[in-house]
């Protein structure tokens, strides 16, 4: 099994299972963590669409140095949810307890 295939399988099956497990606890978590969850959901949707689009490229259109197809097809399903979840976590505001209670 190659590294690309392992990453693809983790993105195809591991990420949805992790998001399903995480989604069961999302209401009880702080706001930043909830935003990271929804960012990861959005990233997985975008990564899935990109993997499908690049996976449906006909074999005649492939080139020897076609790195975009390899990245989006194999690594996109794992990279997009991680990047968008991290981005949503880092860009959300951490509010203090007194602001929430007010």
Share of the chain above pLDDT 90, in %: 38
- Indicate the pTM of the whole model: 0.79
- In tens, the pLDDT along 40-64 reads 999 999 999 998 888 888 877 777 7
Residues in the chain, pLDDT under 50: 101-102
What sign has the CA pseudo-torsion 69, 75, 80, 86?
negative
How many CB atoms are located within 10 Å of the residue 85 CB? 24
């Amino acid at each position: 099994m190659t590294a690309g295939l392992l990453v693809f399988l983790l993105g195809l099956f591991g990420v949805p299972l992790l998001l399903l497990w995480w989604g069961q606890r999302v209401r009880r978590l702080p706001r930043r963590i909830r935003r990271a969850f929804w960012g990861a959901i959005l990233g997985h949707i975008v990564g899935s669409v990109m993997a499908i689009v690049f996976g449906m490229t006909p074999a005649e259109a492939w080139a020897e140095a076609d790195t975009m197809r390899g990245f989006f097809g194999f690594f996109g399903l794992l990279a997009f949810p991680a990047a968008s979840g991290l981005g949503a976590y880092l860009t959300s505001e951490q509010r203090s307890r007194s602001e929430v209670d007010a």
